C-alpha cells in the first residue's frame, strides 16, 4: 500500500512536469520567452541561422545594410552581406556542406568546387538562401584585401541588435556608406547609425577609415 502511494505520487509529479512543459510552450509570455521570440524578425532568424554555421568554420562579418536594419532602420532588403575570412578550397567545401546540411542552398550551384573556382576565387560573391525560398539571400564573399581583413580584425557584437552575430564596426559601416557606397539609401543608413550609436561614433576613426577606402578601393 505504501509502495502504491509512493508510485502514485511519483507518477503525479511526472505528469505535472509534462503538463508544465506543455503549458510553458503554449504560454511563453508568462515565462519571459515571448519577447525573445516575438522580437526576432524573419531576417534576424535567417542571419543568425546562417552565421551560426559559418562561425564553426571561419571568422566572418556582417556588413552594410543589415547592420542598419538590425539597428532599427525601417527599410527592406533582399540580401544580407557577409564577408568571410580567406578560406582554401577544402575549408570552403566543409563549410558549404555544413550549410547544405542545415537547410541552405547556393543559388549559383550545388557543387562547392565550382562555387569556389568560378566565383569565390575570382573575387565574385555567391548567394545562399533557405532551400526552396529565394528570399532572403545571404551574399557571401571572401575577404579580398587589407581593408576586409582589418574589418574582420575589428569586428564587434552589437547588443542593441539583440543578435549574436559579428558585425563590422559602426565607424567602419558609416565610413563605407558615406565614402564608398554613397547612394541615397546608404547616406540614410549612415545618418541612422550616427544617431542611434552617437556615443560610439568617432570622427577620427571614420576619417582614417575613409582614407584607407580612398587608398585601397577608389
* Among 50-58, 146-154, 171-179, 193-201, the segment contacting other proteins (CB under 8 A): 193-201
Nearer residue to other proteins within complex by CB, 48 or 154: 48
Q: Which of 19, 33, 135, 216 binds other proteins (CB under 8 A)?
A: 135
d(CA 94, CA 105): 14
3-state secondary structure at position 19 = helix
The verdict on 124 binding other proteins (CB under 8 A) reads no
79-84 sheet: strands from edge to edge:
60-63, 79-84, 137-142, 126-130, 104-106
The verdict on 20 binding other proteins (CB under 8 A) reads no
Q: Which of 124, 131, 122 is CA-nearest to residue 102?
A: 131
Number of H helices, E strands in the chain: 10, 5
The verdict on 107 binding other proteins (CB under 8 A) reads yes
DSSP label of 139: E
Of residues 31-50, those binding other proteins (CB under 8 A) = 38-44
Least gap, CB of 134 to other proteins (angstroms)? 4
Residues in the chain: 218
- Residues lying near other proteins in the complex (CB under 8 A) are found at 38-44, 69, 71-74, 76, 105-110, 127, 131-137, 162, 184, 187-188, 191-192, 195-196, 198
Amino acid at each position: 500500500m505504501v509502495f502504491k502511494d509512493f508510485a502514485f505520487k511519483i507518477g503525479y509529479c511526472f505528469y505535472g512536469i509534462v503538463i508544465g512543459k506543455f503549458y510553458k510552450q503554449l504560454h511563453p509570455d508568462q515565462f519571459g520567452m515571448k519577447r525573445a521570440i516575438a522580437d526576432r524578425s524573419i531576417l534576424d532568424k535567417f542571419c543568425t541561422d546562417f552565421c551560426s554555421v559559418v562561425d564553426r568554420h571561419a571568422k566572418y562579418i556582417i556588413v552594410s545594410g543589415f547592420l542598419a536594419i538590425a539597428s532599427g532602420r525601417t527599410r527592406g532588403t533582399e540580401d544580407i552581406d557577409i564577408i568571410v575570412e580567406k578560406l582554401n578550397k577544402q575549408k570552403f567545401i566543409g563549410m558549404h556542406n555544413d550549410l547544405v546540411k542545415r537547410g541552405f542552398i547556393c543559388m549559383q550551384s550545388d557543387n562547392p568546387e565550382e562555387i569556389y573556382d568560378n566565383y569565390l576565387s575570382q573575387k565574385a560573391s555567391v548567394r545562399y538562401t533557405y532551400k526552396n525560398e529565394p528570399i532572403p539571400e545571404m551574399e557571401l564573399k571572401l575577404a579580398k584585401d587589407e581593408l576586409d581583413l582589418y574589418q574582420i580584425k575589428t569586428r564587434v557584437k552589437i547588443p542593441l541588435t539583440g543578435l549574436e552575430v559579428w558585425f563590422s564596426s559602426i565607424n567602419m559601416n558609416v565610413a563605407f556608406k558615406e565614402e564608398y557606397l554613397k547612394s541615397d539609401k546608404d547616406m540614410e543608413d549612415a545618418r541612422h547609425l550616427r544617431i542611434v550609436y552617437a556615443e560610439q561614433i568617432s570622427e577620427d576613426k571614420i576619417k582614417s577609415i575613409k582614407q584607407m577606402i580612398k587608398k585601397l578601393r577608389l
